[in-house]
Structure 1
Amino acid sequence: MSTTSIAPSRSFWSGTADPSELAHWREVAEGVAGQLGRDALERDRRGEDPTVELELLRDSGLVNLLDPVEFGGGGGHWESAFLAVRILSRTDASVAQVLAYHYINSSNIGFAAAPEQQAEWHRRTVEGRWVWGDSVNPVDPELVLTADGDGYRLDGLKRFSTGASAGDIVLAAGLVKGGDRDGQVLFVALDHDRDGIAYLGDWDALGQRLSASGSVRFTGVAVGEEDVVGALGEEPFSTLITPGIQLAFGNLYLGIAEGALARGAELVRARPNAWFLSAAERYRDDPFVQRVIGEFASRIAAVEALADRIGRRFDEVVDLGATVTAQARGELEIEIAKLKVVATEVGLEVAGRIFEVTGSSSAKTAVGLDLFWRNVRTHSLHDPVDYKKLEVGAWVLNGELQPISLYT
């Protein structure tokens, strides 16, 4: 990994969110989630790219939540962004995933771009209301940026390119061959319709069907220096992008659990009669039903508290800019790994076991209760949660931090 990225002396994401900011973005996200929830199941079945849904995100201001106010952005903090992802996940985890990846992809402006280039990237992003997809998947073969005159030619194939086919910008990471930057990995931001980019439309997963996560093929794509956002680096500030995406995942799974519980509670309340062996008259008064719902609500509340705490901590660390130490970055990554573990397990448990109290009729395809489980089961396979448990255990037992990678 290159060490050429330049961290600003202080991040433009300064301080932390105050109650009024969080209340504002909560209200905005809840409004969008309500609209998405009206036909989430029908759209999931169609499995089309979420182009219409992304327009809703643009109009709401969520797309530019993290961009500075001076460029027309929302001037929000990461805690607000993660909260928005969580809230959208309650009704449409696919669109929430695209938004989460957009936040991370576009944040390379702050984490990877040179300070003197950031203003122009922000201006263009806000004016264009760009949604940033990506083609970065680190477990695929590398894309190659071959030096060509004053620029490069990009070639290769990347799977799992979330948001790329539906968004405005494709963020790609390519290994430079030749020229002055030979051996570096560069992040380049390419407009959706650039010649040589082909969206293969091969995303056919069990869940997250509207996340636009198909493969992208690059064939001789012209890349100029003006398209280069920055280089992949190892200094602590720029590598906060990886704990950031893992924190977004934790909120995604938490939101799915919240949505599954809310939908399950609706179904329980709608059932008139208790099981014939129950001493209760109404189904909702059955002690076994109440026990399961109470268990789920309690576990979700615990994960919410952890997610909120770490969301605030992420802003505090980002605020440090170039003064972020490897130790502070590593300790933050461990806290986020803890959230990833419990959010994954609670998400899977609630989305899978909610059927125990909603009854056999809730298994009908028309009800769509399976959407929550399919979504969390699919995305939680992104990277093995067992390795997050090992990271936490190695820290607790031996004070060991994991080597920096695009997964840690």
Structure 2
Amino acid sequence: MTASLLTRHGAPVPSDRERELFEAAEALGKALAADVRERDAANRPPVAEAQALRDSGLLPLTVPARFGGEGISWSTAFEIVQRIGRQDNSTAQLLGYHYIFQAFPYLDLDDDAAARLAEQTLAGGWLFSSTGTPQGQQVQARRVEGGYVINGRKPFATGSYVADRIYGRAILTREDGTSTRLALLIDTAWEGVVRHDDWDVLGSRLTATNTIEFRDVFVPDAAVVADLGASDEARAPHQVLATPAFQLLFSTAYLAAAEGAVLAARDYTRSTSRPWYHAEGLESAAEDPFILNHYGSFVAHLTGLSAVVREAAQALDWAWGQGAALTAAERAGVAEQVAAAKVLAHEVALDVTAKVYDAMGARAAGTGYGFDRHWRDVRTHTLHDPVAYKYNELGRFFLNGTEPIPSAYR
């Protein structure tokens, strides 16, 4: 159901509730747009942005319906993210990460534990985040009476600075020397949880992708979601859909940033740009044939990307709905459909967010406008995982039928 810059004639009609949610997302995006340039420049932790998300009523939507939530589809969730992301991509990313980390514990919890988590989540209005990159040194867990003590330090913990709960993983080494991964729900108010304010980068500056540290944090047994085993390879296909979901979230964020850049450029072109010196006889830059060509290219590429992302979201919805019946081959096919969307989003968003300047002209490079924000957001986040590996993965899948082994990046 992904939104597009062009009207999608013949597209499925949103339900009344979906229309309501999209309108709420648009309203939040408009409110955030009022001072997004100033907030981006200030580069402070997004405390106010997180509160705006809480106040919007958009947080609890991926709590499963069978446990009292709305259980919206991934297509709907990501369209909400997209509509906000056109105006404030960082805050949209916070919401997208939250939707995924809020939903995925329910794949492993038994019904009683899931019902308790849903009740607490809905009552508390929690904002969820993660414990950071799966690469490098991992958080370690040690068994104690009544639970575990965890220690470790992880960078790139998106959203953790402003989150209420962290869906994290810790490595438990058993007495026989083997290791397993524990999925934990960590209360950020617990003693020993240290959230560092060290996220100072080119773009995506308001995502609170800071370092988080755990200093002898006690995690009670009730906060342990599951023993995930040594790797995702041994888990059931439906239990390892988190990676395709994240890759699709990233694609949606890139699409939204590029759309935001084009919408901002359009407003500037209409109101401020001047016809070029050699565009004789034209009174408006909006009549310049070369500028029109730029916008035609932007819209064509973004309309195509929107369709690809929409189809990938529908595939993820289908896989999610299969539950335990999902096969490894089906999971692989969906993952590669999402990978194709990720590659295209990477290319198109980087290209469009850079080229909007060609349509606006030299004065648009003034720092007061902040048009560079869209490119900086895309350029920063597209470094999350190297697109070269996605090309290779897709090539092996298409040419040789090699299914990706589930992991944090596949």
Deviation at 1:48, TM superposition (A): 1.6
Partner AA of 1:385 in structure 2: V
Q: Relative to structure 2, which stretch is displaced further, 279-288 or 291-300?
A: 279-288
Q: Please give the secondary structure, in 1, of the residue aligned with 2:210.
A: coil
Partner of residue 202, structure 1? 198
* Contact 1:143-1:157 within 8 A present in 2 as well: yes
Residue of structure 2 aligned with 1:40, choices 21, 36, 40: 36
| SS of equivalent residue, structure 1 residue 42 | helix
Letter in 1 for 2:195: Y
Secondary structure, aligned partner of 1:175? strand
Cα shift at 1:101? 0.9
Is residue 380 of structure 2 the alignment partner of residue 378 of structure 1? yes
Q: Secondary structure at the match of 1:320?
A: helix
> Matches of 1:63 and 1:126 in 2, distance apart?
9
Q: Which residue of 1 is the match for residue 7 of structure 2? A: none
Q: SS of the residue aligned with 1:194?
A: coil
* Separation in structure 1 between the aligned mates of residue 273 and residue 381 of structure 2, nearest angstrom: 35
Deviation at 1:70? 6.1
- Within a 5 Å distance, the mapping from 1:102-113 to structure 2 comes to 102-113=98-109
In the TM superposition, what is the alpha-carbon distance from 1:108 to its structure 2 partner?
Answer: 2.2
Structure 1 counterpart of 2:308: 306
Mapping for residues 38-77 of structure 1, pairs under 5 Å: 38-69=34-65, 73-77=69-73
**C-alpha deviations, 1:263-316, integer Å up to 9, x for none?**
011110013631120132211100110001110101000011111112122111
Tell me the equivalent position of 2:124.
128
Structure-1 separation of matches of 2:148 and 2:211? 21
2-side partners of 1:272 and 1:375: how far apart? 24
Whole-Å separation in 1 of the counterparts to 2:392 and 2:207: 29
The residue aligned with 2:8 is: none
* Inter-partner Cα distance in structure 1 for 2:17 and 2:403: 34
Amino acid at match of 1:171: Y
**In 2, distance between residues paired with 1:22 and 1:398?**
40
Write the distance in 1 (CA, Å) between the matches of 2:346 and 2:86: 15
Q: Which of 332, 350, 353 is the equivalent residue of 1:351?
A: 353
Question: 309, 315, 318: which one pairs with 1:316?
Answer: 318
**Partner residue in 1 for 2:217:** 221
Deviation at 1:181, TM superposition (A): 11
SS of the residue 2:342 aligns to: helix
Secondary structure in structure 2 of the residue aligned to 1:212: coil
Q: 1:336 aligns with which of 329, 335, 338?
A: 338
Q: Which residue is 2:261 aligned to?
A: 260
Q: Which residue of 2 aligns with 1:11?
A: none
Greater RCO, 1 or 2 (C-alpha within 8 Å, sep 6+): 1
CA drift of 1:203 comes to 0.7
2:140 to 144, 148, 163: 144
Cα distance in 2, alignment partners of residues 84 and 127 from structure 1: 22
Q: Conserved in 2, the CA contact under 8 Å of 1:17 and 1:77? A: no
- 1:51 Cα deviation after fit: 1.8
Cα shift at 1:18: 5.4
Taking structure 2 as the reference length, what is the TM-score of the superposition? 0.92
Q: Is the 8 A contact 1:66 1:76 kept in 2?
A: yes
Given that 2:131 and 2:168 are in contact with CA atoms closer than 8 Å, whether structure 1 keeps it comes out as: yes
Structure 1, residues 351-380: CA drift from partner, whole Å, max 9, x if none? 111111111111111100000011000001
**In the alignment, structure 1 residue 156 sits paired with structure 2 residue 143:** no
Contact 2:64 2:103 in 1 (8 A): no
CA distance in 2, matches of 1:48, 1:126: 28
**Separation in 2 of the partners of 1:377 and 1:110?**
33
Alpha-carbon contact 1:95-1:210 (below 8 Å) kept = yes
Q: CA RMSD in A?
A: 1.9
The worse-fitting range, judged by mean Cα deviation, of 231-240 and 311-320 is: 231-240
Range with greater deviation from structure 2 (196-205 or 246-255): 196-205
The 5 Å alignment of 1:240-279 reads: 240-271=241-272, 273-279=274-280
CA distance in 2, matches of 1:244, 1:395: 19
For residues 271 and 192 of structure 2, the distance between their equivalents in structure 1, rounded to whole angstroms, comes to 53
The reply on whether 1:365 has 2:360 as its aligned counterpart is no
CA spacing shift, 1:180–1:400, aligned 2, 3 Å = same
Confirm whether residue 172 of structure 1 aligns to residue 173 of structure 2: no
Shift in Å at residue 130 of structure 1? 0.4
Structure 1, unpaired ranges of 5+: 1-15
For residues 386 and 291 of structure 2, the distance between their equivalents in structure 1, rounded to whole angstroms, comes to 32
TM-score normalised by L of structure 1: 0.92
Indicate how the Cα distance of structure 1 residues 406 and 155 shifts in structure 2: closer, same or farther if over 3 A, else same: same
Instruction: Please report how far the alpha carbon of residue 178 of structure 1 lies from its aligned counterpart in structure 2 after TM superposition.
Output: 3.6
Shift in CA distance, 75/181, structure 1 to aligned 2, threshold 3 Å: farther
Partner Cα distance (2:377, 2:265) in 1: 16
The DSSP-based 3-state class of the residue aligned with 1:145 is strand
3-state SS of paired residue (2:72): coil
Residues in 1 aligned to 2:176 and 2:69: alpha-carbon distance in whole angstroms: 35
User: Percent of aligned pairs with the same residue?
Assistant: 33
Q: Does the CA contact (< 8 Å) of 1:146 and 1:178 recur in 2?
A: no
